[in-house]
Amino acid sequence: MEITDEILIDLYKRMVRVRLFEEEAGRLAESARLPGFLHLYVGEEAVASGVCAALENQDQITSTHRGHGHLLAKGGDFNRMMAELMGKSTGYCNGKGGSMHICDLDLAMLGANGIVGAGVPISVGAAFANKLTNNGLISVAFFGDGATNIGAFHEAANMAAALSLPMLFVCENNEYAEYSPRHKTMAITDVIERAAAYGFPGAIVDGMDAVAVFEATSLAIEKIRNGEGPMMLECKTYRFYDHVGVKGTASNYRTDEEVEEMRKRDPLVVHETRLIDSGVMDAESIQAIKDEIQKEVDMSVEFAENSPFPELEDMLVDVYTNGESS
Amino acid sequence: MSPDNIFEGANEVSDDEANSDERKLGYGAAVVETMAQIMREDESVFVAGEDVGAHGGVFGYFRGLQPEFGEDRVVDTPIAEQAIIGLGIGSAVQGLRPVVDLMFMDFICVAMDQIVNQAAKLKYMFGGGAKLPLTITTAGGAGLSAAAQHSQSLEAMLCHVPGLKVAMPSDAYEVKGLLTACVREDNPTVFIINKRKLADTCHVPEELFEIPLGEGHIVREGSDVTVVAIGRMVDEAKGAAEKLSDEGIDCELINPRTVQPLDIDLIVESVSKTGHLVIVHEAVRFGGIGAEIAAQIQEQAFDYLDAPIERVAAPFSPIPFSPVLEKQYIPDVERIVAGIKNLF
């Protein structure tokens, strides 16, 4: 398929939005201005951006505990997200969900999830609804390599295949299940081997290259929309920061050298080089995009800090639809 | 006795019943009839679960639905409890009204993450944006020598989780009214079908009707003692009340119908009149719904109590297989009578 200049620029903007927001969130967390856990997506931007750029607006996604990137790549709002990270009432979840439960149903983003693998069965449900109502949409589940060791993933993959649902499985293989390397948690090198066991096709994709992810996703979803059943992509990627927060102390689960080596393949740098080499953008216009988005990020911090916390009486609101909690 | 045999006869109407003015229907047959009527009026309703399609469910309470509504709306799934609930959650968020079946209530344990961490909490965690019109049907209760993994009453575990509603119909009439309410409800509900009740018949209106979730029912009025019985225990408590009336003890029998929400006001009102409370459930006594009712009654009606609150419930052991042990395990008329007499 033809990768137009427009697509290249769109992919870049999506990645920059994720990167700059996340770097800011990381700084805020380090200076104790964000409560709770923060799982940063930095390093993996090409995956969410490449996949979401290929989707229709109302195609559903489910996400992981590392979910800011997925929502931002799908067009999420900085203000509402930053406010949610601070627990403010103006946040995506009125301050009741926080980082691990970011969602935007208007963008068909069915939630980040604090339970590893748990979003995948929910994605099956969305795919089932698509099939039953014949709405032409597909559902996409993002999950990590670690999630494929969980029963929920297996149940969901098998069910999606058995019911031939319009669903794309996107494995973000960042080589670590929290702080444990892949080779210690599974006996296979490529997660994609598991797809064959469920009877659906899959492909390995360079998850540090947004164009590769976009192309693979576009090919897959064309087949899925055609009624060919679920498919899986394994995007080989890498997490630049720790499982939680930015950089842990006294942690030797991986070496600084390894991280530095992977940073040479930074998906933003890969893409900037491509933009410049192909003459789509010059360094100056790239910087202009970054400056503009950074300004939006700064404004979101201001918006969030100036937003009110929830009222204490909001505690019992929305436990149930149409009713009070007992 | 296999599950299929239990259900046999439930659709049949005896001569006596056929001659009566009031139409009678079996407990299990009421599930089928209700689902069929709801599915005719609302295209967004579908059923999914293990063996629910061609086989109609292992207890037969979905029998006949797939021939009428097709494989797209009566869906046989793999044996995959987490994915079955996930199927319900994801499709409910998309605007469908799924009824997903977990066959035996014991199997909710396999799907606890999807029920407790996902279905119950999504609306709240999402800041109210999501609606989850999801009904989980499942067969609970002991009495079939089905042993420790196919007989439990785990409603207290579910009631402890904010976001869920839990209905426990005690007869076919309540099956129809509560199931209709559950399916039309915009919150996740667990509808607990008692498997020993499947063939029992009673009067059930032909047309759909709703019993509001959270409204208990006074089965029998009385002045001496309030007996709160849950699910199938309503039958046993009725027997106990009849026996005791011969001995001059007048029982007021309350069936909460749903245990979350719980109609505590009805119980408080009754206890204010009788001054005595006995709670009966099939689940184990420790941490059962009776403990919650007792706690709320001492908070709200302490001054009216003339005696300690009595609980008649199962002992703290897994459910034994041997019929001799199981009979001893489940509360029955005799034990309820003894429990009530303890107060006088």
Mean pLDDT across the stretch A93-107?
96
Residue B98 near chain A (CB below 8 Å): yes
CA atoms B191, B193, B194, B195: torsion sign: negative
Clarify whether residues B31 and B109 are in a common domain: yes
Mean pLDDT across the stretch A93-97?
96
User: What range defines the domain where residue B291 resides?
Assistant: 217-341
User: By CB neighbour count within 10 A (0-12 exposed, 13-18 middle, 19+ buried), where does B291 fall?
Assistant: middle
Query: Half-sphere exposure (CA, 13 Å, Cβ side) for B95?
Result: 9
Clarify whether residues B175 and B238 are in a common domain: no
Per the domain annotation, does A180 fall within a domain? yes
Residue B65 has a pLDDT of 98
Residue A103 has pLDDT above 80, yes or no: yes
pLDDT tens by residue, A259-308? 999 999 999 999 999 999 999 999 999 999 999 999 999 999 999 999 99
pLDDT tens by residue, A230-252? 999 999 999 999 898 887 655 78
Select the residue of A132, A318, A326 nearest B262 (Cβ to Cβ).
A326
As a whole number of angstroms, the distance between CA A43 and CA A37 comes to 18
User: In terms of Cα–Cα distance, which of A275, A143, B303, B123 is closest to A155?
Assistant: A143
Chain B residue whose CA is closest to A97:
B125
What is the pTM assigned to this prediction?
A: 0.94
**Which of B85, B118, B187 is the best residue to mutate to test the A interface, defined by the most A CB atoms within 10 Å of its own CB?**
B118
Per the domain annotation, does B210 fall within a domain? no
User: In terms of Cα–Cα distance, which of A97, A50, A44 is closest to A69?
Assistant: A44
Specify the CATH number for the domain of residue B102: 3.40.50.970
Chain B residues touching A132 at Cβ < 8 A: 46, 72-73, 91, 96
Structure tokens at B26: 């079996």
Clarify whether residues B29 and B140 are in a common domain: yes
Specify the CATH number for the domain of residue B228: 3.40.50.920
Residue B241 near chain A (CB below 8 Å): no
Clarify whether residues B160 and B257 are in a common domain: no
Residue A1 has a pLDDT of 77
As a whole number of angstroms, the distance between CA B169 and CA B171 comes to 6
Specify the CATH number for the domain of residue A264: 3.40.50.970
Clarify whether residues B276 and B173 are in a common domain: no
**φ and ψ of A181, to 5 deg:** -70, 150
User: What range defines the domain where residue A136 resides?
Assistant: 5-308
Mean pLDDT across the stretch A115-144?
98
Residues of chain A by 3-state class (helix, strand, coil), percent to 5: 50, 10, 40
Per the CB < 8 A criterion, the answer to whether A308 and A95 are in contact is: no
Clarify whether residues B141 and B241 are in a common domain: no
Per the domain annotation, does A262 fall within a domain? yes
Clarify whether residues B175 and B279 are in a common domain: no
Per the CB < 8 A criterion, the answer to whether B227 and B55 are in contact is: no
Structure tokens at B30: 């009421």
Residue A325 has pLDDT above 90, yes or no: no
CA distance A93 to chain B (A): 4
List all residues 6 or more positions away from A39 whose beta carbon is below 8 Å from its beta carbon: A64, A65, A66, A67, A99, A100, A243, A244
Per the domain annotation, does A324 fall within a domain? no
Clarify whether residues B30 and B147 are in a common domain: yes
Residue B9 has a pLDDT of 47
Select the residue of B77, B93, B162 nearest A159 (Cβ to Cβ).
B77
| Helix-helix angle B172-184:B27-41, to 10 degrees | 30
Q: Are A320 and B122 inside 8 Å of each other by CB?
A: no
Per the domain annotation, does B208 fall within a domain? no
| Among B142, B172, B203, residue at a domain's last position | B203
Per the domain annotation, does A253 fall within a domain? yes
pLDDT tens by residue, B269-287? 999 999 999 999 999 999 9
| Among B174, B203, B232, residue at a domain's last position | B203
Cβ–Cβ contacts within 10 Å for residue A309, how many? 12
Per the domain annotation, does A322 fall within a domain? no
Count up the domains in chain B and report the number. Answer: 2
User: By CB neighbour count within 10 A (0-12 exposed, 13-18 middle, 19+ buried), where does B206 fall?
Assistant: exposed
Count up the domains in chain A and report the number. Answer: 1
Residue B2 has a pLDDT of 47
Query: Would you say how long chain A is, in residues?
Result: 326
Residue A248 has a pLDDT of 63
**Which of A122, A143, A311 is the best residue to mutate to test the B interface, defined by the most B CB atoms within 10 Å of its own CB?**
A122
| Helix-helix angle A78-85:A283-306, to 10 degrees | 50
Parts of chain B with a pLDDT under 70: 1-20
Per the domain annotation, does B211 fall within a domain? no
CB pairs under 8 A between A and B: 154
Per the domain annotation, does A317 fall within a domain? no
Mean pLDDT across the stretch A5-34?
96
CA distances from B151 to B88, B105, B108, B162, B318 (A): 24, 8, 12, 25, 9
Per the domain annotation, does A326 fall within a domain? no
Per the domain annotation, does A209 fall within a domain? yes
Active site residue B150: yes
Element (H, E) at B339: helix B333-341
Q: Is A60 helix (H, G, I), strand (E, B) or coil?
A: strand
Structure tokens at B87: 């199927």
